Amino acid sequence: MLTKKQHELICFIADRLNETGISPSFEEMKDALELKSKSGVHRLISALVERGFLRRLANRARALEVIKMPERAEPKKKAEARPAQPSTLSIFAGKAPPAPANDVIEIPLHGRIAAGMPIEAMEGATMLPVPAALLGSGEHYALEVSGDSMVEKGILDGDYALIKRTETARDGDIVVALIDEHEATLKTFHREGTMVRLDPANRNYDAQRYDSRKVRVQGKLAGLLRRY
């Protein structure tokens, strides 16, 4: 059985999807349920996802799909004169609307990554809420930075590096490089013939050079989050 607030939220989301095809923003959900903060909305959505009533559509802002409704609860009917619209975010099959600045996307947080000597990364995942405006198109994940070798690029120990998943890189890109399928590091990428050079951004560290067959790009830097 859903709590009163969970019931109110899924009905509000379903009604908005049924009317416009677009999920309400977190701010709109907060106001509709008279909550004090958007963290309460996050908790309600997570509970509805866990119970199988909602589904998050990965890496898209304001992307929620209603899987089922609680008993004796159906979304409001539209006026007869209005054309039928889908009850999910099929709008994203085309061009998505711009995401409001207050929208948040949860992306996987995969452990710690070295901005110094390589350390193991990608050791499991929790979720990190990220403002949608910081991310572009594509699939993203986050890594917590460990070390100081990228400080001259403004990447500090404890920052969260937001990574766009890709297996290719151009010279000068800041990438997540997996070395020998075991250790990962965050460095500036350069090719030197059959070698790959991974440059730090700290004069106290030396560049690392590897046979290109031993280096696999796992993504490139798309943004940073920093907590104070």
Under a CB-based contact definition with an 8 Å cutoff, are residues 107 and 141 in contact?
A: yes
Catalytic residue among 146, 149, 153, 220: 149
Is residue 149 among the annotated active site residues? Answer: yes
Q: What is each CA distance from 150 to 95, 114, 159, 185, in whole angstroms? A: 36, 10, 11, 11
Catalytic residue among 187, 212, 214, 220: 187
Closest CA to 129 of 162, 93, 95: 162
Distance of alpha carbon 84 from alpha carbon 69, whole angstroms: 19
What are the catalytic residues? Answer: 149, 187
